[in-house]
A and B are shown apart, each in its own frame.
Chain A
Amino acid sequence: MTRIQQSRGAAASRILGIGSSQPERVVTNDELSTKMDTNDQWIRERVGIAERRFAGPDETVVSMGVEAGSKAIAASGLTPSDVDTVIVANCTNTVPMPNAAAQIAELVGARAAGGFDLNAACAGFCYGLASASDMVRAGSAERVLVIGSEKLTDIVDPLDRSTAIIFADAAGAAVVGPSDEPGIGPVAWGTAGDLAETIRMPNGRHIHQEGQSVFRWATTKIAPIALRAVELAGLTPADIDVLVPHQANLRIVEAIAKKLRQKGAREDMVVADDIVTSGNTSSASIPMAMDHMRAAGRVHSGDVALLIGFGAGLSYAGQVVICP
């Protein structure tokens, strides 16, 4: 009988390197206050954002993804041709085709790499990371470039103060490769499709969210998912050095951290607060926060980080990783 041969993968996977990219233009709360009925204090109190970056016409999902991806490849000590697969988490590309992954693979120099886009909104990076890790362990890929790249300003009504103050543009990336010791834990993921209507694009052009409903969900349902990721990794909350929740809203980040500390996470656990200067950049926020914290010396190689993404769908995914 004919038998199909199966591929064999690595014993384990890990993140080899991280990179990020932001547009040039910094947009302050004061600038937004000139366009709509809001002010610096109101924005800081509600969402914790002081400033964010908006992309210009030449700064795109692809261009930001290329820059973040190239930096991640360099940080990994690899050359672009070492990358054999590219996953781009994205929910803001305004055209469904061509996808971003094929263009980014070509432009970073990972010519002919396998590539696809993945949409799990703000949870997209964690979905991509889990997929990459499993590919490396299953043998369908050896080194995977995982990118979250988003140009939210393309789908935000610039005069809607409930969204225009929150969302921004950026890309973050990680290279996942083989490892002797596990560097990426099992993923805890899922969806809450019964709440699909709470973050949507009702006119097909602009994002709308039910702020209170999303806030309630994020502050009550996400910490237990994060704890499940810790459990799946065979660890306890006290083992976590760094907490990197999706940078949705500083109050959500703080609520998740508080709940984890009630369950044994340490007081000195570093908590990502990149939203303060970067805004909510959807799938880019987690890898970019890790990159910024590494650059600032707040996170070190070998630290145990708990990642938890959550957003439209509603979708969520989290895992424990060892920082590269």
Chain B
Amino acid sequence: MAEKPTEEQILAGLAEIVEEVAGVESDEVTADKSFVDDLDIDSLSMVEIAVQAEDRFEVKIPDAELANLKTVGDAVSYVAKNA
């Protein structure tokens, strides 16, 4: 990506990824949602989401960092800060 994505773009992109990986409707994927508790996403799907997000946003999301990304908003902030 030539320019840094906006938080809105990141959220929209993450929602597409979450829908593809976990089959969650993309409009369910909002900043306040917890990946595990609200969207029922397991630890292995989180890895798949991270790998796709890395490719899409040109960012590194190490496994150690994944545990800190509890909500969709956490992930959006992380990508915005590190992309």
Chain A residues at the B interface, C-beta cutoff of 8 Å: 45-46, 210-213, 215-216, 219-220, 249, 251, 255
Does any Cβ of A come within 8 Å of B43's Cβ? Answer: yes
Give the residue name and chain of the A residue nearest to B61 (CB): A216
Contact of A46 with B47 at beta-carbon distance under 8 Å, contacts A210-B63, A212-B66 already known: no
Contact of A212 with B46 at beta-carbon distance under 8 Å, contacts A219-B51, A220-B51 already known: yes
Q: In the complex, which residues of chain B have a beta carbon less than 8 angstroms from the beta carbon of A211?
A: 43-44
B63/A46 in contact, CB under 8 A: no
Name B42's contact: one of A45, A216, A219 (CB within 8 Å): A45
Give the residue name and chain of the A residue nearest to B50 (CB): A216
* Complex CA–CA separation, A210 to B47 (angstroms): 12
* Complex CA–CA separation, A212 to B43 (angstroms): 7
Does any Cβ of A come within 8 Å of B19's Cβ? Answer: no
Interface of B, helix, strand, loop or mixed by DSSP: helix
Chain B residues at the A interface, C-beta cutoff of 8 Å: 42-44, 46-48, 50-51, 63, 66
Q: In the complex, which residues of chain B have a beta carbon less than 8 angstroms from the beta carbon of A210?
A: 63
* Complex CA–CA separation, A249 to B44 (angstroms): 11
What are some 13 contacts across the A-B interface (CB < 8 A)?
A45-B42, A46-B42, A211-B44, A212-B66, A213-B63, A215-B44, A216-B47, A216-B50, A216-B63, A219-B47, A220-B51, A249-B44, A255-B48
* Complex CA–CA separation, A44 to B48 (angstroms): 18
CB distance from A254 to the nearest CB of B (A): 11
Of all A-B residue pairs in the complex, the 3 with the closest CB atoms, nearest first, are A212-B63, A216-B47, A213-B63
Q: In the complex, which residues of chain A have a beta carbon less than 8 angstroms from the beta carbon of B44?
A: 46, 211-212, 215, 249, 251
